[in-house]
Amino acid sequence: MNSMLKNIYYQRYGKILLVLMGVFTFIYVGSGVNSVGSWYELKEYFYSEEFSHSYDKDTSYQIKDYQHEIPVYYQSIQEYRDDALTVFDKFYFSHLAPAESTLSDYTNNDYELIEGEANDYQVGGWYSSQLYSYITIVARVIFCLGFLLFFVDQKTNFNRFLFSLPFKRRELFLGKVVYVALPLLGFLALMIVSYSLILYWGIPKPYMNVTLLQLLYSSFSHWMYLVFALTAGIFFGTMLGNLVFGVLAILAGILLLSGNFNWAYSNLNLMVTYFFPQVRFVSATALFVTEPGKTGSPWLFLLILFGVSLLFLYLGERMFHKISLENNGQFVTSPEIRLPVCITIIIGSLLFFGLLNFDLTGMVVNEYPYFWRDLLIQIVVIIVVSVTLVYSQNIRNWLLAKRDLRIQQK
């Protein structure tokens, strides 16, 4: 890479990178230190006389679980303490339904609950945690940073300046990735490992209920999710060009996926396993690991994430080649891809909202009489919104031309 290009990018993004590194240090290291401190405070409370009196008086503390609506009690207060202080629970949710499933299994959204110690570890299983941190928001922040890394330069004169330099578009694109994105990802990897080691060395091993290798594998799964989020943001940052509709589309997508992805994925699981009982889905929490812990993504899925990330970079680089100052303000930066983008949005939206509204029980027992009517309305709305978004500038120009024609005729 050219040193001149390196200096240009460092001068523009260097201070921002330093601020981001400080923020992520606070999030990861701060979360680790806070989690360890909170665990010791909780331990101190559980061994206090105040809690001992509360445990003896309040029988709700003594209930460990329910089996067929019958309470199962802890054998002693010490067993309760050990259970409550365990960071990563001894249980994980495996799959949404057993192989021999009936319709009632699906209507109740039953989960198969499996018990296991740290040695009984299954990649792809979801292990709940007693910890709380802000790390779960990092992936969304990283996606937005990847998007802004290219989108902001479209809306300012910096792209015009870059295109005037004696560099190919490919060099300009890869320069941002190498000098801005990669240092950020490398620093994030360091912070993720730091967080995991703070937990592992700060909390006694029996209570962690996780081995160091499992913790590091979960950390790697989390980092790969961040790589995926950043490259996805870079791709959309090069593809979208409208300051209003582009940003609104990104915000709407983040809000919809954040609040509804797990539900849509669960409905997909129910639909597939109902018709194909032997098929098994991995927990959505294990696919996209939002924070390091005991949950780790299957290695095959990590390879898929890596491949998709490379694909996003390749497509982003191709989009960057097609960016034209004449098309600044269009929803997509290249007129050539408007139709594929529009079709992709329509199909993706139909699948996503279809899964959100999916009602297997109603369809099987014929309690969904308005299914086809609702589906038709949904299709029409999605098509109208998608076409309006992608072809907004063309529609506006057409309306202006019609208005001018009417004025001339008068």
Q: Is the pLDDT of residue 400 over 60?
A: yes
- Per-residue pLDDT tens over the stretch 81-108: 888 888 887 544 444 433 333 333 433 3
Q: Is 62 domain-assigned? A: no
- Per-residue pLDDT tens over the stretch 156-167: 888 888 888 889
- Per-residue pLDDT tens over the stretch 10-66: 999 999 999 999 999 999 999 999 999 999 998 999 899 888 888 888 777 777 777
Q: What is the mean pLDDT of the chain?
A: 83
Per-residue confidence (pLDDT) for residue 34, from 0 to 100: 93
d(CA 240, CA 365): 44
Q: Do residues 34 and 77 lie in contact, with contact meaning Cβ atoms separated by under 8 Å?
A: no
d(CA 143, CA 148): 9
User: Between 20 and 265, whose confidence is greater?
Assistant: 20
Q: Which pLDDT band holds residue 369 (cuts at 50, 70, 90)?
A: low
d(CA 348, CA 356): 12
Q: Is 174 domain-assigned? A: yes
User: Between 277 and 388, whose confidence is greater?
Assistant: 388
- Per-residue pLDDT tens over the stretch 197-215: 999 999 998 888 888 999 9
Q: Is 25 domain-assigned? A: yes
User: Between 406 and 4, whose confidence is greater?
Assistant: 4
Q: Is 361 domain-assigned? A: no
- Per-residue pLDDT tens over the stretch 291-314: 998 888 889 999 999 999 999 999
Per-residue confidence (pLDDT) for residue 1, from 0 to 100: 61
Q: Is the pLDDT of residue 223 over 90?
A: yes
Lowest mean pLDDT segment, chosen from 28-37, 63-72, 319-328, 360-369: 360-369
**Hey, what are 88's tokens?**
């990563």
Q: Is 185 domain-assigned? A: yes
- Per-residue pLDDT tens over the stretch 329-338: 788 888 888 8
Q: Is 323 domain-assigned? A: yes
- pTM (2 d.p.): 0.85
Per-residue confidence (pLDDT) for residue 370, from 0 to 100: 66
What integer is the mean pLDDT of 158-186?
92
**Hey, what are 96's tokens?**
């949404």
Per-residue confidence (pLDDT) for residue 397, from 0 to 100: 77
Per-residue confidence (pLDDT) for residue 94, from 0 to 100: 42
Q: Is 64 domain-assigned? A: no
**What range defines the domain where residue 226 resides?**
3-37+131-333
Q: Do residues 280 and 95 lie in contact, with contact meaning Cβ atoms separated by under 8 Å?
A: yes
Residue 142's closest CA among 190, 181, 175? 181
d(CA 357, CA 373): 13
Per-residue confidence (pLDDT) for residue 360, from 0 to 100: 57
> Which of 232-236, 272-276, 292-296, 386-390 is modeled with the greatest confidence?
232-236
Per-residue confidence (pLDDT) for residue 196, from 0 to 100: 94
Alpha carbon 19 to chain centroid, angstroms? 23
User: Between 317 and 101, whose confidence is greater?
Assistant: 317
Per-residue confidence (pLDDT) for residue 146, from 0 to 100: 96
What integer is the mean pLDDT of 128-150?
89
Residue 319's closest CA among 230, 239, 243? 239
Per-residue confidence (pLDDT) for residue 96, from 0 to 100: 40
Q: Is the pLDDT of residue 359 over 70?
A: no
Residue 334's closest CA among 266, 238, 407, 228? 238
Residue 143's closest CA among 247, 257, 236? 236
User: Between 123 and 238, whose confidence is greater?
Assistant: 238
> Which of 3-12, 237-246, 308-317 is modeled with the greatest confidence?
308-317
Per-residue confidence (pLDDT) for residue 343, from 0 to 100: 93
**Count of the separate structural domains present in the chain:** 1
Q: Is 226 domain-assigned? A: yes
